[in-house]
Amino acid sequence: MNTETASARAAFRFDNSFARDMAGFYARTDPAPVDAPRMIRFNRPLAVELGIDPDALDSPSGAEILAGSALAEGSTPIALAYAGHQFGGFSPQLGDGRAILLGEIIDASGDRRDIQLKGSGRTPFSRRGDGRAALGPVLREYIVSEAMFALGIPTTRSLAAVATGEGVRRETILPGAVLTRIAASHIRIGTFQFFAARGETDKVRRLADHAIARHYPELIGAANPYFALFAAVLERQAALVARWMQVGFIHGVMNTDNCAISGETIDYGPCAFMNAYDRSTVYSSIDRNGRYAYGNQPPIIQWNLARFAETLLPLIDAARERAVGQMTTALEQFPERYAAHWLAGMRAKLGLSTAEDGDADLANALLAAMRDGRADFTLTFRRLGPAARDESAFAEVRALFGFPQGFDDWSIRWRERLARERRDPAERADTMDAVNPAYIPRNHLVEEALAAAHDGDMAPFDALHAVVLRPFEEKPGWGRYALPPDDADEGYQTFCGT
């Protein structure tokens, strides 16, 4: 073995708690070697954050490891079992059908992180699938997850995209790739459902204990740690979905198996960003009834949390009725907890530093005006900052509205509200610019980048990537990245299948 290979193999210092402590929750599975691994993109800043030497992995030997063709030292590759409600229907066995957990490392800040390969071949959970991923969806997850991170939203991260040199059969033959995904863990609501559905209460308890120790250590020793776990997950999910709503993010496939217990955004499949504000926006081709439409995301996460609550019932109280009563009460807190996170975020977006009773109404009135005027969600908020700085900039916001009457009425209310806070307008505008992004990974730009990458040209991907990593910094020359497409994504569709 040459030194490059040796240092790539030794790049991760694994400490695999799930493989070690959670036998019975996974299948030991090696990734399948590929023809010709080639590094497409490697996330060097993330490697540093993970405490990994970027040079050790950003190499041909690193590509072999991250494609699954060679095994890193200390890795115990496993595929995790999970179940899940998909579009409301329960599947008792899903599991990692195209993903393999290489192991866990402790990052530079002392946090435990999963290193997972997605698209690394068949596992015992693959069912009829090929265990593979195509380049397009891999790069989509790479860029959108990194954009979400830059927006300050809890998310899994992307360490690398490696081409496999093999074709994958979808509707056509597409170039194959493997994504290296980094997550606080890959424990999902569906992981709990897998064991609860089999009546394996002891395993549900072990999983809950593992999740508490890993994600909510402050709950160890709580009077009822499992009830506390539920409340804590509810809180993180309420906060997370509120953040999605504030950037116009539509996850697209909020099945319970795609809901992480850690509170990170996970599984970027058919996700997309809304342009004109419309709560019924759906882009996913498989979401025919709009179950996961933009505006449904808060009630859907509450529905998913109800499924999580059901898995914990035997741990809450031996008397089922009492357990149901407790969990129902906890679940009923969701609308209020969500509303609190949402309102805090909306106040920041509107430049409000104090709280008044009418603030939720004020925010909703702007959204109603945006809906009626078919105004672009991201641009409207972005342009409010300059308007708060200097009244002459109101025209730039107004211009986004097809029917500006609603906005005109609203802007009078907003100005009156701002006037009740004694705050320097420039300072206020600066805080608004720091929370209202100028750049999101707009659908048409992502598609353009992926189409070019498919043809071997990574320049559009790299350009867009650079922009979305700086979502709050407007730069000359980046103008087109801030604009919605001319057709406002009329008829735009996303597809599943990383």
Phi-psi domain of 7 (left: phi exceeds 0; alpha: psi -120 through 50; beta: other): alpha
Stretch that binds ligand AMP, among 43-51, 130-138, 396-404, 474-482 (CB under 6 A): 130-138
Spatial distance between the Cα atoms of 249 and 398, rounded to a whole number of angstroms: 23
Q: Please report whether residue 98 would count as binding ligand AMP according to CB under 6 A.
A: yes
CA 87 to chain centre: 18
Told to judge if 257 belongs to the known catalytic residues of this protein, a careful annotator would answer yes
Contact 403, 372 (CB under 8 A): yes
Q: Taking CB under 6 A as the criterion, which residues in 318-337 touch ligand AMP?
A: none
Bridge pairing between strands 26-28 and 78-80: antiparallel
Largest CA distance in the chain: 71
Burial group, residue 365, by CB count within 10 angstroms (0-12, 13-18, 19+) = middle
The secondary structure of residue 218, as a DSSP letter, is G
130 lies in the binding site for ligand AMP (CB under 6 A): yes
Which residue in the set 88, 129, 199, 325 belongs to the binding site for ligand AMP (CB under 6 A)? 129
Binding-residue total with Mg ion (CB under 5 A): 2
Name residue, tokens 């999963």.
114
Q: Which of 257, 267, 287, 376 is catalytic?
A: 257
Stretch that binds ligand AMP, among 122-130, 197-205, 342-350, 478-486 (CB under 6 A): 122-130
Shorter beta-carbon distance to ligand AMP: residue 125 or 334: 125
Residue 496 binds ligand AMP, judged by CB under 6 A: yes
CB of 280 or CB of 285, closer to Mg ion? 285
CB of 170 to ligand AMP, least distance (A): 9
Rounded CA separation 7/77 (Å): 19
Token duo for residue 7: 């240092």
Is-contact 112 50, C-beta < 8 A? no
496 binds, among Mg ion, ligand AMP, none (CB under 5 to 8 A by kind): ligand AMP
Q: How far is the CB of 250 from ligand AMP (least distance, A)?
A: 15
Of 124-132, 207-215, 244-252, 479-487, the segment contacting ligand AMP by CB under 6 A is 124-132
Which residues, numbered 173-232, are part of the site for Mg ion (CB under 5 A)?
none
Among 97, 165, 290, 485, contact with ligand AMP (rule: CB under 6 A): 97
Q: Is 166 among the residues that bind ligand AMP (CB under 6 A)?
A: no
What would the two tokens of residue 133 be?
A: 């991923």
* Chain position whose Cβ is nearest to ligand AMP: 129
Q: How far is the CB of 104 from ligand AMP (least distance, A)?
A: 20
Q: Is-contact 212 229, C-beta < 8 A? A: yes
CA end-to-end span of the chain: 33
Instruction: Establish if 267 lies at the interface with Mg ion (CB under 5 A).
Output: yes
Which residue in 487, 474, 450 sits closest to 379, CA to CA? 474
Question: Closer CB to Mg ion, residue 58 or residue 257?
Answer: 257
User: Among 96, 104, 287, 376, which residue interacts with ligand AMP (rule: CB under 6 A)?
Assistant: 96
C-alpha span between 112 and 185 (Å, rounded): 8
Q: Draw the binding track, 266-305, toward ligand AMP (x: CB under 6 A; -: no contact).
A: -x-x------------------------------------
Q: 459: buried, middle or exposed (CB in 10 Å: 19+, 13-18, 0-12)?
A: exposed
Q: To the nearest whole angstrom, how small is the minimum distance from the Cβ of residue 110 to ligand AMP? A: 30
Binding at 146: pick from Mg ion, ligand AMP, none (beta carbon under 5-8 Å per type): none
Paired with 249 in beta bridges are 273
Q: Based on the shown chain and the rule CB under 6 A, indicate whether residue 254 belongs to the binding site for ligand AMP.
A: no
* Nearest distance from C-beta of residue 190 to ligand AMP, angstroms: 9
Q: How far apart are CA 483 and CA 405, in angstroms?
A: 23
Report the run of H or E that residue 136 belongs to, with start and end. helix 135-150
Residue 89 C-beta: closest distance to Mg ion, Å: 15
User: For residues 287 and 433, which CB has a smaller minimum distance to Mg ion in the complex?
Assistant: 287
> Smallest gap, in angstroms, from Cβ of residue 333 to ligand AMP?
28
Q: Is 264 in the site for Mg ion (CB under 5 A)?
A: no
Backbone angles phi, psi at 77, to 5 degrees: -65, 130
**Sign of the four-CA dihedral 391, 395, 401, 406:** positive
Instruction: State both tokens at 214.
Output: 């890993």
Cβ–Cβ < 8 Å for 349, 238: no
Least Å distance, CB 174 to ligand AMP, is: 12
Residues that bind Mg ion (CB under 5 A): 258, 267
Residues that bind ligand AMP (CB under 6 A): 94-98, 125-126, 129-132, 253, 257-258, 267, 269, 496-497
Catalytic residue numbers read 257
